[in-house]
Amino acid sequence: RAKPRVGTFRYMTNGLGLYSRPFIESFEETPMLVAVLTYMGYGILTIFGYLRDFLRDWKIERCHVAREREEQRDFVPLYQDFENFYTRNLYMRIRDSWNRPICSVPGAKVDLVERVSPDYNWTFDYTGKVVEGVINMGSYNYLGFAENTGYCADASAEVTMKYGVGVASTRQEMGNLDRHEEMEELVAKFLGVESAMAFGMGFATNSMNIPALTGKGCLILSDELNHASLVLGARLSGSTIRVFKHNNMQSLEKMLRDAIVHGQPRTHRPWKKILILVEGIYSMEGSIVRLPEVIALKKRYRAYLYLDEAHSIGALGPGGRGVVDYFGLDPRDVDVMMGTFTKSFGAAGGYIGGRKELLEYLRSHSHSAVYAASMSPPVVEQIIASMKCIMGEDGTTLGRDRVQQLAENTLYFRRRLTEMGFIIYGNNDSPVVPMMLYMPAKIGAFGREMLKRNIGVVVVGFPATPIIESRARFCISAAHTKDMLDTALSVISEVGDLLQVKYSRHKRLIYDQIQD
């Protein structure tokens, strides 16, 4: 059955026999006038940037940024030219929107340390004041486990008193605790796989393990919007890398077919292995991977699948077990299940789950396993306690209730933003909610105006996004009450009117048509 489309919304049913639920994502096209004005804005900023660089070269204006010494002027530049230009002349104008120091638990509300800049964001001075009770719409605290009271916090504190904070060794030497073993067994049980392994850093879980799985003569097919850790891991592996269009199964299948037919360049020998890299939830787009179709293609062409569930584990599925649970699929169909503990679990580090043979191989071949220090005991206990809570093994329904609350909050928040006329990206069930700002001047303005009204948000621009697709990114939490969300939505609407960022040409009409 053909995929019905309404306006610029993508709507997929189970017509292919792969989906057990509607799959709704929206990526509304940029209005032409907004695109033109955005390019003009960057053009004007670029012209003034070159003018200011000219003044700096002639010592008329002071240059604060790092630069080569006079005796190194004939050397190859240490910094990439455009990114250095961008940092000096565009990023510095809105640098106050990032790296804001907080002095509280990053829960539903946070306290911010107030700071001011005497030199247009080149440096900051702290006033000694604290901005209290800022509604936190930016942290990845999906299930609200970033807290300093309750079952998880108490368990971590108790373990700290018994084991201390650091281990001072690697797992292969004197740093393998019984709590590490228990955690990995629990992770495997939670994921529904044979075995699992934990690492102290989520980024390194990708960047250090992919090179252990593939190498020269292997092919990696990577989604164009994959996280930097996946990209780095693929590059470090020495494998051939080909990039397919975001969540586009036709593009992926064409690359798989070409890889099978033509083999390696020049020799045309078959690839040693083909590895598909995808994410569960894409953290800048809010989209969910079309996993049923990816698995079908993987089986058809006998490729391997590496699934990064950094943002989806805990945040999707009736049991909080991620995108595999969300689609009701068999975990054994995913060859390498990767995720992080930094988001839904309120801890730190990452994991890889899969077949026992795979994990035994990684224990001896992964740089992140062999050379990295062991995870801190209180962090391990936070993972164990929060995971048991989600699984219901703590004797309560708290974890299940939080998973359900997150789903309700996500649908409510996305629906209200759509009704207000904002362009938002992603899947209806994704707790990552990108709201498009486009113009460079509105990146900083939106963040500042929201903070004035006691709402903390994350604004994102180049190089994390394409240069004309700047956005605000909201992360919904189960810890958000309806009153908090209503307050945030009211402020977002007010600031949206002030800055004129309600760009959608469809508003409520499209949403109602889809729901019908």
Active-site residue numbers? 283, 311, 343
CA distance 367 to 343: 24
CA distance 212 to 336: 12
Q: How far is CA 479 from the centre of its chain?
A: 19
List alpha helices for 1-78, DSSP H: 32-57
- Local structure of 430: helix, strand or coil: coil
Contacts of 358 (CB under 8 A, 6+ apart): 195, 335, 336, 352
Helix (H) or strand (E) holding 385: helix 377-391
List alpha helices for 170-287, DSSP H: 178-191, 202-207, 210-213, 228-237, 249-262
Nearest to 476 by CA among 493, 460, 490, 489: 489
At residue 409, what is the residue type? N
Contact 251, 293 (CB under 8 A): no
Contacts of 403 (CB under 8 A, 6+ apart): 143, 314, 317, 318, 319, 320, 390, 478
79: which strand partners? none
Residue pointed to by tokens 């059955």: 1
Nearest to 392 by CA among 158, 188, 186: 186
Residue 368, φ and ψ in degrees, nearest 5: -70, -25
